[in-house]
Homo-oligomer: A and B are copies of this chain.
């Protein structure tokens, strides 16, 4: 007689959280958003589904393989795989209505049908900021991005992290100077240093056919270390006769100089000549951010400068600089590494547990506390007190408010601090003060 039941489950590779973790996840999203807004970035929200011709305008095999593409009626559509292509389309489409430099943030879900892999998700949140100029965009903007990164990760509760910075022009100019033809391949090899080490990079460079001399010079270059000032002097002293290299060096020096004014401490920003960013659209400054205490997590935030954002959609030249935090993966990693704990804080300040016959008056006290801006749940079901307390315990709220005839006749409430276990009767006004703290 029964209809067949479907086993409740989701597709593999998708993240779904229990409420206690969801509260924490949302809190991180809120902190990120708050910091983006603090610097005056404006929100946009684009459709998750775009025309396939828009998302695939750039071409490229990897993207096409990963994309979720389908037809409905005569429409060929796809789910966005990042927030940068939608930004490019958006800026090209609404160009006359936008105010340049256009500073926008975008927090939303993106989709990639990657093969199943631990810690990789097919649906994930990206939290992006970009500054897009009309025709030109001053290098000083490249110094504001690290200050937003700094402020955001401080906001997320981290003290020890390093924003690593480099400039593609330095790398490209240097490769050019060395007479290397496969500059993209060289860049990609260097980009793997975190995974394969410097010897691995050496092998890769050999494999793509670089001369022994070139490989040696690249390895020496990659080994340049020291304070930011020392690295900059070192690069100057190399006297590389290449315009692009020198332009990159000048840009990097300016960014390092400006970053100070933005209040990013020296210990949180470091030039790292091995940072390459495999993605091919960056043309200048590049960033990767690492948590000093958790190097295994890898980069937690990355970005860079590009020359021409929307060339597939408009002939307006739109240079920009931006960065992105992939929060879904980061959250997973933070949980795995026990960096964050789920019930350290509750969205709900207190639950009111009414004693028998006190439900109506308890509801009224609930209204009053909510009017004071306190998030309150009232336990509404008719149940034994034990069951009510079980519910409150499981909810993980900081306070339980017990209302019985004694409390109600004197306009009082009994508040139990669920952390310390202490329980005390308060005048309502006094209790409100405690709950607001």
Contact = CB atoms under 8 A, between A and B. Distances in A.
Interface stretch (A95-103, A241-249, A295-303): A95-103
A73 B348 CA distance: 42
Nearest to A361: B261
B42 A381 contact: no
A207 interface: no
Closest 10 CB pairs of A and B: A40-B377, A70-B70, A8-B93, A19-B42, A8-B92, A8-B313, A14-B47, A261-B363, A263-B367, A99-B394
Interface in A22-50: 22-23, 25-26, 37-40, 42-50
A391 B123 CA distance: 37
A151 B367 CA distance: 10
A370 interface: yes
Interface in A250-294: 258, 261-263
A93 B137 CA distance: 51
A54 interface: yes
Given A43-B26, A45-B22, A151-B370, A50 B11 contact: yes
A239 interface: no
17 contacts: A5-B311, A5-B314, A6-B54, A8-B54, A9-B93, A10-B46, A10-B51, A16-B90, A19-B104, A26-B43, A40-B347, A40-B348, A40-B377, A69-B70, A103-B377, A258-B363, A261-B364
Interface stretch (A138-146, A191-199, A402-410): A138-146
Contacts of A73: 113
B48 A380 contact: no
Given A6-B312, A8-B89, A109-B48, A43 B68 contact: no
A89 B84 CA distance: 33
A106 to B, nearest CB: 10
B315 A380 contact: no
B68 A49 contact: yes
A83 to B, nearest CB: 13
Q: In the complex this chain forms, how many copies of it are found?
A: 2
Given A45-B22, A151-B370, A381-B101, A75 B6 contact: no
A218 interface: no
A16 B47 contact: yes
A339 interface: no
Interface in A300-350: 310-315, 347-348
A347 B42 contact: yes
Contacts of A375: 37-40
Contacts of A72: 68, 113
A3 interface: yes
A254 to B, nearest CB: 12
A57 interface: yes
Given A92-B8, A140-B359, A19 B43 contact: yes
A53 interface: yes
Contacts of A263: 364, 367
Contacts of A378: 40, 144
Nearest to A89: B8
A269 to B, nearest CB: 15
A38 B141 CA distance: 39
Contacts of A38: 370, 373-376
A111 interface: yes
A133 B40 CA distance: 44
